Structures are given as structure tokens and as C-alpha cells.
Structure 1
Amino acid sequence: MEAHLYKNKFTHYVLIIVGTFLMAVSVNVVYEPLQMVTGGLSGLAIVIKKVTGVFVEGGIPLWLTNLMLNIPLFITAIIVRGKTFVKHALFAEVSFTIALALVPTSFNFIGQDYLLAAVFGGVIGGVGIGLVFAANASTGGTDLLAMIIHKFKPYYSVPRILTVVDGIVVMVGIISFGITKALYAIIAVYITTKISDSILEGLKFAKMAYIISDEYERIAEKIMAELDRGVTGISATGMYSNRDKKMLFCVVSKKEIVEIKELVAEVDPKAFIIVSDAREVMGEGFREYRQ
């Protein structure tokens, strides 16, 4: 049990570290060189770097701005929501700040192609955010700010507050860098959202199979023996034949659904199979339930 918990924690922290590194690559290598403000504190940090370039050579580094802006947010979150609430977000934020400091800003493989930047930045950042969210964590920033505001304004949802806050950051980017870059940044945000959602859904998705066959007992035995998956027998009545029969129901991974179909065809080529997506499955053999 202890080894299992240790493995889960290790995987959890690896996902956060890899995810925040990819997020830093999208910011430092793609967005910052082309001055694309995609929202969040990292977007605001890009604006601050440009503005402070007059006073500091090269402007204030992104990692330093990100860190300084997050400190008051985390202190407020601890007071308002408690230590447990910010525990995972704190580790992710520290990891993201370190990644921003380590990833070189001089390495620009996109050139001046803003469409390419929006696509690749969106994909890389989306994968990073998806991995962080899959670890049940957050990098703080505007996400944390939205949650703090929600505590005082519960009649506004967190996504709605986050949209407004990030919208303000994008508006600041428009004022600083012009509307053209902002429009490409919006494309990048859209791609980031789609990619991160796809990663989360891909991790949670499973397949449901309904199997109708006169050989239901043999099919159930083979599924339980060869795939080690549970099967539920549901009483059903064929309305055409008016005969009582058993309909098998089981939930398997995407890869196993192919084996299920082959196994059923082996036992009863005339079996009727219905396959559909299960949006999220929790329990033995799948994702553990977390409160």
C-alpha cells in the first residue's frame, strides 16, 4: 500500500515538473520573443518586461515577475482558503518559476511567423497545462486569483471570473503590442484550451460495451479470465422474440475494446455489440476517486 502511494505521488510530481517545463517553453521560446500576450500572469510578465526595459537592461525577467506577482496571491489564498487548498498549486508554481528561469529565451525556432507561433505555442502550452491539471494541480496565477475572488463573489463562477481576468491581461497586451499580435494570441489560447482538454479527456476516457448473445456465460467467463475485467449481467427481454435473456455490460480501456470485440466474435460471431464512450470512470482498475 505504501509503495503504491509512493508511486502515485512520484507520478504526480513528475507530471507537474514536465508540464510546467513545457509551459515555460511555450512562454520563453514562443510567446515572449514575438510579444504575444495569451493571458495569465506570464502574459502580464511579458508586458512588464517590455515596459521595464527602459529602466533595466532587457527588462525584468519573466520568472522574477511571475514569482513576485504570485507571492501575495498565495499568502491571500492561504488566509482565505487554507493551506491544503494551495499545497499542490505551490509546488507547481515553484516548478514553473524555476522552469521560466532555466529555459533560454534566446532559442527561437519559430522566427517571425505568428501563425506558426500560435499553433506550436498553443500545442506545447496545452500539453503542459493538461499534464499539470491531470496531476490535480494548478500553477497559481490568474487561476488562483479567480478562486480567491470567487470566495467573496460566489454568485460568479470561477471560469467566468477567470475569463474576465485573462481578458484584462489580453487587453493590456493589445495596448502594449497592438491588436494583430493579440489576435494571434487568442488563436494560441484557443488551441491551448483544446489540447489541454483533450489530454484530460484522453486520460479519463474509457469504453462501455453492451453485449447481447445467447452465449453470454462463455463470453463473460472469457472476459473475466483473459482481460481481468468485471462483467455485469443485465436482465433483458427481446421484444421481437419475446424471450428473456442476459445483456452483458462491461467498461474497459480504449485498447481493450479491440480485444473485447475479437473475443466476442470468437465465441459468438452473431453477437450484438454496442460500444460507446465513458467520459470518466473511477474505481478499481481505473482512476482512483479523490475528494
Structure 2
Amino acid sequence: MKHKIQSLIMITLSTFIMAVGVYFFKFPDNFCFGGITGFATVVAKVTPISASNFTFIANTILLVIGFIFLGKSFALKTTYASMLLSVLLVFFEKWMPLTKPLSNEPMLDLIFAIALPAIASALLFNIGASSGGTDVIAMLLKKYTNMKDIGIALFATDLVMILVACFVFDLKTALYSFVGLAVKSFMIDDIITTINLRKSITIVCDDKEPICSFITAKLNRSATITEGVGAYTNEKKYIIFTSLSRTQAVELRNFIHDQDLQAFMSVSSTSEVFGKGFHSL
């Protein structure tokens, strides 16, 4: 239940961040990178349908596809996120109508239009959800093709929006949109990598008990122990291997230092760790 509540809070926060970026910075400048909300700017330009209403309709259709091919858990999380996004966009449109961009600097608007949705999307993808729309198509590509990075899948999915923008809007808007799509796609992968960054730790020590007890009891992790011989002293040593989060790695380092355990500790960063306690294989 605690995990479900945390996921709900994260989805709500991420979706709100995305709604702010989309409505206040993406729609007013006609930036059309990034899925359904991007295509919605095109639809709103050439039809009587508003961008917010089109987003709601398209998201509903793609949610059904996601439920069929990506599973119930993904579908439920994505349903909540996409519906909340649509409601927030309609709310902003009704109570905070915009007739022009917030600033007279398209590049400044572009930065926020990229950064806010990218951060939100990365947080959603990291917990097995999405905001709906073409994110669903990107996850299908990732699952059923050789595209292992979600950012690359998003780029391939949304590139068609840029081509449409060339005909609907002016070339300047299309070029801004292409830059936005490219930066957003790679930014999502970088953010996910940063979130999932872990520390692989190797410890060489004389007494393994206090260190292993701290890892298992305090950090709620495990470790692998092997025996070795010091090349200089020719004495028996214990070698401990473990993987921890960045915060846990700092706690372990401080523990070894405070207890003056005379251990040798090597720490390296790794972008992904699979197995019990981390991501599933």
C-alpha cells in the first residue's frame, strides 16, 4: 500500500509538471514536438477542435491500445496520468486562458517546453507509467523492436510531427520543434539514467562481520563475500561485493570511517542494476 501511494503521488506530481510545461510554454508558441500534445497544436490550428479536447480524445484511444499490449498495471497508471493531464489542460484553458506566449523570447519558452515535460516523462517512465499519447507507441516500439532506449523510440515516434509542422506552421516554428524533439528525447534517457544510477562497491577488509551486518541490517541490502590474500602482507583478507544507491553508499563509507575498520573501499558508478531489490531482469 505504501508503494502504491508513493507511485500515485509521483504520477500526480509528474503530470502536473508536464501540464504546466505543455499549456504555458508549448501550446502558445505552437511547438509541436512531443506526441499527442504536439499534434494537438496542429489540429487546433487547422480545425475547430481545441488542443485540450483533441488530447483527451486521442489519449483515450491510445490507452485502449496500451491496455491490450502493455498490460494492466501500465494501463491503470497511464490512464490516471493521461486523464489527469487532460483535466489539467482543460482547467488551465478555462481559468487561465492564454492569447499569446508568456514571453517574447521563443528560445526561453522552448527551454521550459522541453525541460518540464522531459522531467515529467522520465519520472513516469521510471515507475512503469506514461502520460499516454504517443508515449504508448514509443513503449510498444521499445518492447517489440530493438530500440532499448525510450528516448530514441520517442524520437522515432514523434518525428512525423515535425514533418507536419513544416506544412502547417512556418519554417522557424518547425525548426524550433525539431530542436525541442531532439533535446527532449535524449534528455529523457539522461534523466532516467541519473535516477537509476547505482554504486558498485568492492571492500577489502580483515573483519567482515561489522560491515556485512551494517549492509544487511541497516541498509537492508545483501552482499557477496569471498576470501583473498594480500599481495604485500600475504595475509588473509575478505572481499565484499555489493550494489547500493548513492545515499546508501555514503552511509556505508561513513560507517567504515567512523568505526575505523581499516578497510579498502572501491566505489564505481553503474547506470543499471538488475536483480532482487533493484530492477527485474
Common topology (TM > 0.5): yes
Say yes or no: does 1:271 pair with 2:263: yes
Q: Which moved more, 1:113-122 or 1:200-209?
A: 200-209
Contact 1:215 1:268 in 2 (8 A): no
Say yes or no: does 1:211 pair with 2:200: no
Q: Where does residue 3 of structure 1 map in the other structure?
A: none
Structure 2 alignment gaps of length 5 or more = none
Aligned residue among 149, 157, 167 for 1:165:
157
Q: Which moved more, 1:94-103 or 1:134-143?
A: 134-143
Q: Where does residue 24 of structure 1 map in the other structure?
A: 19
Task: Give, in angstroms, the shift of residue 26 of structure 1.
Answer: 1.3
Tell me the alpha carbon deviations over residues 211-238 of structure 1, each in whole angstroms, 9 at most, x when there is no partner: 1133444444455565555443222233
Say yes or no: does 1:70 pair with 2:65: no
The aligned amino acid for 2:184 is: T
Aligned residue among 237, 244, 257 for 2:249:
257
Q: Where does residue 40 of structure 1 map in the other structure?
A: 35
Contact 1:215 1:267 in 2 (8 A): no
Contact 2:155 2:185 in 1 (8 A): no
Q: Distance in 1 between matches of 2:146 and 2:247?
A: 41
Q: Aligned runs of 1:35-114 on 2, under 5 Å?
A: 35-52=30-47, 56=48, 60-77=49-66, 81=69, 84=72, 86-103=75-92, 104-106=96-98, 110-114=102-106
Q: Distance in 2 between matches of 1:150 and 1:282?
A: 18
Aligned residue among 172, 175, 183 for 2:175:
183
Task: Give, in angstroms, the shift of residue 29 of structure 1.
Answer: 0.4
Contact 2:36 2:55 in 1 (8 A): yes
Q: Distance in 2 between matches of 1:222 and 1:124?
A: 39
Q: Distance in 2 between matches of 1:248 and 1:83?
A: 39
Task: Give, in angstroms, the shift of residue 37 of structure 1.
Answer: 1.2
Q: Where does residue 188 of structure 2 map in the other structure?
A: 196
Task: Give, in angstroms, the shift of residue 290 of structure 1.
Answer: 5.8
The aligned amino acid for 2:189 is: D
Task: Give, in angstroms, the shift of residue 114 of structure 1.
Answer: 1.7
Tell me the alpha carbon deviations over residues 39-84 of structure 1, each in whole angstroms, 9 at most, x when there is no partner: 31111110111112xxx4xxx2212111222333344555x53862
Aligned residue among 223, 226, 235 for 2:227:
235
Task: Give, in angstroms, the shift of residue 283 of structure 1.
Answer: 6.3
Describe the SS at the equivalent of 1:33.
coil
Q: Which moved more, 1:217-226 or 1:13-22?
A: 217-226
Tell me the TM-score normalised to structure 2 length: 0.80
Sequence identity (%): 26
Q: Aligned runs of 1:134-153 on 2, under 5 Å?
A: 134-146=126-138
Q: Where does residue 280 of structure 1 map in the other structure?
A: 272
Tell me the TM-score normalised to structure 1 length: 0.78
Distance 1:137 1:205, change over 3 A: same
Distance 1:275 1:107, change over 3 A: farther
Aligned residue among 110, 114, 117 for 1:122:
114
Task: Give, in angstroms, the shift of residue 30 of structure 1.
Answer: 0.3
Q: Where does residue 12 of structure 1 map in the other structure?
A: 7
Describe the SS at the equivalent of 1:120.
helix
Describe the SS at the equivalent of 2:103.
coil
Distance 1:197 1:108, change over 3 A: farther
Tell me the alpha carbon deviations over residues 227-265 of structure 1, each in whole angstroms, 9 at most, x when there is no partner: 555443222233444444211223333123233223323
Task: Give, in angstroms, the shift of residue 167 of structure 1.
Answer: 1.0
Distance 1:41 1:178, change over 3 A: same
Number of matched pairs: 275
